[in-house]
Amino acid sequence: MPKEEFVNDWFRKRKERKSHLIAEEIYPSLIRGDRTALSSAITLVESTLQNDQSESKELIKKCLKSQNKSWRIGITGVPGVGKSTFIEAFGRIFLEKGLKLAVLAIDPSSNITGGSILGDKTRMEWLSQQKNAFIRPTATGKSLGGVARNTNEAIILCEAAGFDVILIETVGVGQSETLVHSMVDFFLLLMLAGAGDELQGIKRGIMEMADAIVITKADRGNEKMAEMAKVQYKNALHLFPVKESDWIPQVKTCSSIEELGITEIGEMIESFFIKTITSGWLNENRKNQEVNRLKEILDNSILFEFYKSEQIKTIFDFYKKEVSNGHLIAYQAVEDILNEIKKGKFNFL
């Protein structure tokens, strides 16, 4: 069969499939931990095709029945801090214990390429060859909040596939840190030991979210500078309010290349999970994260539906002009808009 004909045939067959078929096909292999099935499953939830979406919904529902027992760890840091090298070294300690590790990379800025899968495999060469490791960038969805949704669902799929540790890595800088923080149990901030201005590069809000700061590239000959930075960050962390988890954020140094300090970071994270699982915080926090997400997504959806209406567009544009021309102030314009909507018995959904 010539290639073009094959492709058309494949698409036709795909279209003809019943709604639950793919989900039902993938699920058994997925829960056995098959990496190809996991990969297809993530592709499925990332798809924007109508058919795929209903299948994806079925699949996620099935997967939710499997317990969330993984450790969800967020890793962030400015470009150049050595995230990939750190993840290679850090990931190894879990694999050596016989655990299964998934690395999900978020890059909201890569709208065009849709994630650099090949790039990722090269970045973490050793890890990508291990049978108990799974590396996957999250493609940026086309819909509102696409990246967030895709990553969130990818976490559930990885857990259903039996992955014990899930690292969520932010590749971009900026808003994605808050997003990642809302999805993980432990938030790790990688920092470089620099001269003087260390605190400038990273926003205070991001430092405040951190459960640990790890100073990378504390290679031989560089230990002194790293130690100095450690003291500085420790002092800075003292200024933040106590965390709800009762966990006291720690500062560590490491050399990913020389494999120094990596074991200590692993032990620290283990003690975090022991502490928060025992106290019940971990479970409580995951519930809260999901409820907060519900409110946030609902808010966005409501506003999206509202402004989508042609009726509202007309009214809003009129008042925008009024306000822009200084005939009304914003507060009064809003009152008038609400009154107009009430009069018109506007049905926004």
Q: Which is nearer to its own copies, 152 or 256 (CB)?
A: 152
Check binding of 49 to its own copies (CB under 8 A): no
Which H/E stretch holds residue 214?
strand 212-216
115: which DSSP letter?
Answer: -
The token pair that represents 31 in the structure block: 């829960």
**Using CB under 8 A, which of the segments 8-16, 92-100, 158-166, 195-203 binds its own copies?**
195-203
The token pair that represents 146 in the structure block: 């696409």
Nearest to 167 by CA among 134, 208, 190, 203: 134
Angle at 117 between CA 191 and CA 174, to 5 degrees: 35
Q: How far apart are CA 277 and CA 296, in angstroms?
A: 26
Check binding of 316 to its own copies (CB under 8 A): yes
The 58-97 contact track toward its own copies, x by CB under 8 A, reads --xx--x---x-----------------------------
Q: How far apart are CA 109 and CA 172, in angstroms?
A: 6
- Torsion-angle region of residue 312: left (phi > 0), alpha (psi -120 to 50) or beta? alpha
Nearest to 146 by CA among 120, 189, 176: 176
Min dist CB 109 to its own copies, Å, is 16
- Full strand arrangement of the beta sheet holding 186-192: 133-138, 101-106, 165-170, 71-76, 186-192, 212-216, 250-253
Interface pick for its own copies out of 299, 308, 311, 313 (rule CB under 8 A): 299
Q: Which is nearer to its own copies, 120 or 153 (CB)?
A: 153
Interface pick for its own copies out of 29, 40, 57, 247 (rule CB under 8 A): 57
The token pair that represents 186 in the structure block: 């432990």
Interface pick for its own copies out of 32, 178, 205, 279 (rule CB under 8 A): 205
Angle at 263 between CA 262 and CA 268, to 5 degrees: 100
Interface pick for its own copies out of 279, 305, 311, 313 (rule CB under 8 A): 305
**Using CB under 8 A, which of the segments 104-112, 130-138, 215-223, 293-301 binds its own copies?**
293-301
Check binding of 332 to its own copies (CB under 8 A): yes
The token pair that represents 185 in the structure block: 């149990």
The token pair that represents 219 in the structure block: 């290679």
Footprint (CB under 8 A) of its own copies, residues 237-266: 239
Min dist CB 200 to its own copies, Å, is 6
Check binding of 152 to its own copies (CB under 8 A): yes
**Using CB under 8 A, which of the segments 24-32, 163-171, 217-225, 317-325 binds its own copies?**
317-325
Q: How far apart are CA 201 and CA 192, in angstroms?
A: 10
Evaluate whether 106 touches 153 at the Cβ level (below 8 Å): no
**Using CB under 8 A, which of the segments 101-109, 129-137, 149-157, 267-275 binds its own copies?**
149-157
Check binding of 302 to its own copies (CB under 8 A): yes
Check binding of 153 to its own copies (CB under 8 A): yes
Nearest to 315 by CA among 294, 285, 344: 344
Number of residues located near its own copies, criterion CB under 8 A? 55
Min dist CB 335 to its own copies, Å, is 8
Q: How far apart are CA 96 and CA 26, in angstroms?
A: 29
Check binding of 131 to its own copies (CB under 8 A): no
Min dist CB 93 to its own copies, Å, is 29
Q: How far apart are CA 233 and CA 230, in angstroms?
A: 5
Enumerate binding residues for its own copies (CB under 8 A): 57, 60-61, 64, 68, 149, 152-153, 156, 197, 199-200, 203-205, 236, 239, 287, 290-291, 293-294, 296-299, 301-303, 305-306, 316, 319-320, 323-324, 326-335, 337-338, 341-342, 345-349
